[in-house]
Chains A and B, each alone.
Chain A
Amino acid sequence: MAVPKRKMSRSNTRHRRAQWKAAVPALVACDRCREPKLGHVACPSCGTYNRRQVLEV
């Protein structure tokens, strides 16, 4: 079985992990409460989608 020949240095580990970046989600303003929300998804703050109440808040 193939195994690593050398221990991975802390530097290499940290360089690799420094590339793990979170992407900013593209948000849109809610139709009704103007809160930022995900597109095509019911607003989590007022619970509406297309001005229709979907969730009770």
Chain B
Amino acid sequence: MPKPTKGPRLGGSPAHERLMLANLATSLFEHGRITTTEAKARRLRPVAERLITKARRGDLHARRQVLAVIRDKGVVHTLFTEIGPRFENRPGGYTRITKIGPRRGDNAPMAVIELVEALTVQQEAVGEAEAATKRAVKEDATKKSAKEAAGEEALKGLEKPESAEEDHTSEQTAAATSESQAEGDNGENSDKG
């Protein structure tokens, strides 16, 4: 379940925030880019991106869910026919927020939030390649850390076999070898003890 936003709502009440975010999202999809305060832009981004993800799905259920937020049918139509297909192969990150400095009058930090351009074929290929290398590196790292953990625990067992807490450390080695994820915590505990 998503964690609820902490602190006060925009505009004072949850209902007011919902309405403001719905209106901001409607304007964003209508015009492509809007200038607003930075706080509103930052709150708007996840709302708008969830709506675009629904538009990418494109079925009737998704359309009804979007219509519950955006009450302008024309805007929903453009969202589903133009904006959704444009981001067909982009895995999230459909909006860009650029800060444009403080506003005259109340010095509020302003920002431009806009829909980003569709991915080019080249960018798409690069993104896929990067994701693949990232996955490979992650797998390597987990393998390596598991191996190292096993080695360290074995060394520790050799170093202090005649200490008072011998059975304690052996318990920890057993726990660590069984779960490679928890090895960092166990290592710290043995250092303290």
Contacts and interface: CB of A to CB of B under 8 A. Distances in A.
Nearest to B100: A42
A40 interface: yes
Contacts, number: 20
Main secondary structure of the interface of B (DSSP, over half): strand
Interface in A25-49: 38, 40-42, 44, 49
Contacts of A52: 98
Interface residues of B, number: 5
Interface in B91-116: 98-101, 112
B112 A41 contact: no
Contacts of B100: 41-42, 44, 54-55
A49 B98 contact: yes
B167 to A, nearest CB: 56
A55 B112 contact: yes
B112 A54 contact: yes
A49 B99 CA distance: 9
Interface of B: 98-101, 112
List the 8 closest pairs (A to B, CB-CB), nearest first.
A41-B99, A42-B100, A41-B101, A54-B98, A49-B98, A42-B98, A54-B112, A38-B101
20 contacts: A38-B101, A40-B99, A41-B99, A41-B100, A41-B101, A42-B98, A42-B99, A42-B100, A42-B101, A42-B112, A44-B100, A44-B101, A49-B98, A49-B99, A52-B98, A54-B98, A54-B100, A54-B112, A55-B100, A55-B112
